Amino acid sequence: MEVFVRGSRSSAQEWARAHSTPLSEIPPLNDNQKAEAQRGNISEEEFARIAYAEHLWQQKILQKILRFGRWLNGKVAERNPGVQIVRVQLDTLSGRIVIALSEGDETFDFEMDEDLVEKFLTTGSSESENSIFRLLDVYVPREQIAKAS
């Protein structure tokens, strides 16, 4: 399963960590980043700390999305063993999580609201879990097993 994050953010936690990290431990800026800092009238050190805070957040969210994807893939497999998740992508600009699935030769995707997933992952909300399951009802119906009569 592939996991991607499009866009970036940082939280107060990553911001504080980036500002307390010695500059020697922060990755240096490339030429494009230096030019962007200059255009924005931001010191290179401050720009590097901002980029580092965004990197820290992205690493943290990738792990979170991967864990969610694995959990969701298990739920998908319970519904229909022939379907599996191939990609989970968080788009920070739209606030959506795009789930790409495959069934045989067919690939399809659907979206979930990022806030729905965040609420489920941070609170264990049964309401959020039920909303996720309702989406699965639409996109991954339970496999029907034919019964002999």
Distance, in Å, from the CA atom of 76 to the CA atom of 80, rounded to the nearest integer, reads 6
- SS3 of 46, please? helix
Structure tokens at 133: 């399951």
Nearest alpha carbon to residue 145 among 84, 80, 76 = 80
No. of H helices and E strands in the chain? Answer: 5, 4
pLDDT per position in the chain (149 positions), as tens? 999 999 888 888 999 999 999 999 999 999 999 999 999 999 999 999 999 999 999 999 999 999 999 999 999 999 999 999 999 999 999 999 999 999 999 999 999 999 999 999 999 999 999 999 999 999 998 876 545 55
* CA atoms of 57 and 30, how far apart (whole Å): 20
